[in-house]
Amino acid sequence: MSDQANELRQLVRRAALHAPVAEKPPQVIAVASGKGGVGTTTVAVQLAMALARDGRRTVLVDADLQKADAALLCGVEEPTATVADVLSGRLNVHEALERGPAGILLLPGTWAGNNVVDCSPGAQERLVGQLKCLGAYADYVILDVGSGANRVAGHFWQAADCVLLVTTSDVVALMDAYAAVKLLCSSGAQPVLRSFVNRAGSTAVAADVHQRLSRACRRFLGLKISSAGHLGESACLQHAAGTSATEALPLEQDTARAIESLAQSLTSPPGTPTARTRKLLGRSATRRAASA
């Protein structure tokens, strides 16, 4: 694994020397939540893999300094470098990337409890600046920023093009999600906000959660937050929380479809049909042509 990681860094480093100067920066999507235990990292990993399977060059960054689980879920048990190395300036992003499942590139996280991690505004700006210069190698950067409303999370929210707020139907999880939006957006962060309900008992339950969060944000904060979909009570995704994503695949059909729809909703302009819708429309057109 160490040899492969070194080879990857050398390839990326050599490519960087010949990369075009002006590249469109990748879209940065921060995956966040108001409290732990709602599946934020699992959703971030599955979203990154779905984007990669759809042909999008994707980098997944574990920026949750309290619970660095993304590498484990990706099957990378002993990363040779972490996000702490980039924050401190010891390495740049190119040197710290690892290969992940489905063709993604991974910047592993670190546990703040075990190390003194530089999370100063300057360190975060260094990390974000390097991520936004990955346009030659990435279309999307997925930032797993974890749970809670603090200065570190707020800086990542501010740097993101879109924040995907993960919650469940649990009342505490929903209240904490709203509290995170209230605190972090009042500090100056004004990203596009999307809500995603994990482990929803039904479509109706998910719709109710979306509606309550949206109504509260609009009424009390003057902010718009739209729905990015939901996941049901999937045994596969719950199993993935303790197992690498590669071992947890293949996903159940409904779960895979929900993750695909999530990826499509975050990457397609409003009103653009998803891949599933395009497929159904194609079948309908074929039937009409056959009956003509």
pLDDT of residue 114: 54
Pair 147, 32: CB distance under 8 Å: yes
Those residues with Cβ within 8 angstroms of residue 199's Cβ, 6 or more apart along the chain or in another chain = 38, 39, 168, 169, 231, 232, 233, 234, 238
What pLDDT digit, counting tens, does each position of 158-176 carry? Answer: 999 999 999 999 999 999 9
52 band by pLDDT with thresholds 50, 70 and 90: very high
CATH number of the domain enclosing 279: 3.40.50.300
27 band by pLDDT with thresholds 50, 70 and 90: very high
18 band by pLDDT with thresholds 50, 70 and 90: low
pLDDT of residue 164: 97
- Please report, rounded to a whole number, the percentage of residues in the chain having pLDDT higher than 70: 75
148 band by pLDDT with thresholds 50, 70 and 90: confident
Find the domain containing 251 and state its range.
Answer: 2-291
Low-confidence winner among 4-8, 84-88, 129-133, 282-286 (lowest mean pLDDT): 282-286
Q: What is the mean pLDDT of residues 88-94?
A: 95
pLDDT of residue 248: 43
Mean pLDDT across the chain: 84
pLDDT of residue 231: 93
Q: 253 versus 133: which is more confidently predicted?
A: 133
Low-confidence winner among 46-60, 83-97, 269-283 (lowest mean pLDDT): 269-283
- Give the rounded distance of the alpha carbon of 276 from its chain centre: 21
- Residue with token string 């209240």: 175
Count the domains in the chain. 1
What pLDDT digit, counting tens, does each position of 207-262 carry? Answer: 999 999 999 999 999 999 999 999 987 644 544 444 555 544 456 788 889 999 99
Q: Is the pLDDT of residue 134 over 80?
A: yes
66 band by pLDDT with thresholds 50, 70 and 90: confident
What pLDDT digit, counting tens, does each position of 182-209 carry? Answer: 999 876 667 899 999 999 999 999 999 9
SS3 170: coil
pTM of the prediction?
Answer: 0.82
Pair 62, 79: CB distance under 8 Å: no
CA–CA gap between residue 157 and residue 147 (Å, rounded)? 12
Those residues with Cβ within 8 angstroms of residue 246's Cβ, 6 or more apart along the chain or in another chain = 74, 75, 101
Q: What is the mean pLDDT of residues 255-284?
A: 69
CA–CA gap between residue 45 and residue 259 (Å, rounded)? 10
CA–CA gap between residue 208 and residue 202 (Å, rounded)? 10
